[in-house]
């Protein structure tokens, strides 16, 4: 068992200069710019869906995309804000109105699809392409977000992971609506919730381990300065 003065010695020993974090809104903006870049790359590489202009005139579709993007922006801001220890938990409420609107458009879309396409109207080939698009959008975004929010693992890992997962999920859903001509609403839901659950589980599992690892490193550096 290390005594507290010894621990302080060890901590002082490895106190290198650190760069202060930029304000959370700026950092959220950076991440959203990265998300915009990925969407732009996908638009160039994959091309937007051919009937986009026609779809954008439909209020439900337009509302769906707008609410997904709003959810992404607001939940990213919330995630970056609550990753700091002294910010209020009320930031968690920020994306809720947009999320409610987004979920209601998804639900509406599900019913409409069910009626128009029917239960066996989904082709396998479409789903695979859809899945590739999902992975291409969400994986880089999730990695970037985890890298930017890694400090939160020690403080409010669960809440930050939830908000981050929501932001990634919303951007991915917007990308699918823009680039994919089939509204794979069920898959979007499964994938998005899966992503959020995965990130949440990972932060729960590894947050503490990272902490222990860090503590072990500090103590080892104290033993062999």
Partner 1 sequence: MSPRRRRHTPSLTLVTSSGAASTAEVEGAGDQRNTPRTRDWSGLMVRAQDGDRHAYRALLEDMTPYLRALAARCFKASGDIEDAVQDVLLTVHAVRRTYDPGRPFGPWLVAIANRRIIDRLRRQMRDRSREIELTAEHETFSPLPTNLRFDETSADEAALHAAIERLPPDQRQAVRLLKLKEMSLKEAALASGRSVSALKVATHRAIKSLRKILQQPSEPP
Q: How far is the CB of 207 from partner 1 (least distance, A)?
A: 10
Residue carrying the six token digits 């010894």: 6
- Tell me the site size for partner 1, rule CB under 8 A: 28
**Long-range contacts, 1-10 (Cβ 8 Å, 24+):** 2/219, 2/222, 6/222, 7/218, 7/219, 7/222, 9/222, 10/218, 10/219, 10/221, 10/222
CB 181 within 8 Å of CB 51: yes
Q: Does 155 bind partner 1 (CB under 8 A)?
A: yes
Q: How far is the CB of 102 from partner 1 (least distance, A)?
A: 30
Q: Helices marked H in the chain — which ranges?
A: 4-13, 24-45, 52-56, 59-82, 96-117, 124-148, 157-179, 185-223
Specify the residue, 132 or 205, whose C-beta has the smaller distance to partner 1: 205
Residue 116 contacts partner 1 per CB under 8 A: no
The binder of partner 1 chosen from 47, 211, 220, 221 (CB under 8 A): 211
215 binds partner 1 (CB under 8 A): yes
Q: Determine, following the binding rule CB under 8 A, whether residue 158 of this chain makes contact with partner 1.
A: no
Residues counted in the chain? 225
**Is residue 225 within the footprint of partner 1 (CB under 8 A)?**
no
Q: Report the interface residues with partner 1, using CB under 8 A.
A: 1-4, 7-8, 11-12, 15-21, 23, 83-86, 151, 154-156, 211, 214-215, 218
């Amino acid at each position: 068992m290390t005594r507290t003065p010894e621990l302080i010695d060890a901590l002082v020993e490895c106190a290198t200069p650190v760069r202060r974090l930029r304000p959370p809104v700026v950092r959220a903006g950076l991440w959203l710019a990265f998300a915009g870049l990925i969407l732009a790359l996908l638009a160039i590489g994959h091309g937007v869906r051919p009937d986009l202009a026609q779809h954008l005139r439909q209020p439900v579709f337009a509302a769906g995309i707008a609410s997904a993007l709003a959810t992404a922006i607001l939940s990213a801001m919330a995630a970056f804000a609550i990753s700091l220890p002294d910010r209020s938990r009320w930031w968690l409420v920020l994306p809720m109105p947009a999320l409610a609107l987004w979920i209601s458009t998804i639900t509406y879309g599900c019913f409409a699809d069910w009626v128009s396409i029917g239960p066996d109207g989904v082709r396998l080939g479409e789903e695979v392409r859809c899945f590739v698009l999902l992975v291409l959008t969400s994986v880089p975004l999730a990695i970037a977000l985890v890298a930017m929010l890694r400090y939160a693992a020690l403080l409010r890992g669960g809440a930050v992971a939830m908000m981050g997962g929501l932001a990634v999920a919303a951007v991915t859903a917007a990308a699918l609506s823009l680039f994919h001509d089939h509204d794979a609403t069920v898959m979007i839901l499964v994938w998005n919730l899966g992503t959020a659950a995965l990130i949440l589980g990972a932060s729960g599992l590894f947050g503490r381990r990272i902490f222990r690892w860090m503590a072990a490193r500090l103590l080892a550096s104290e033993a062999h300065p």
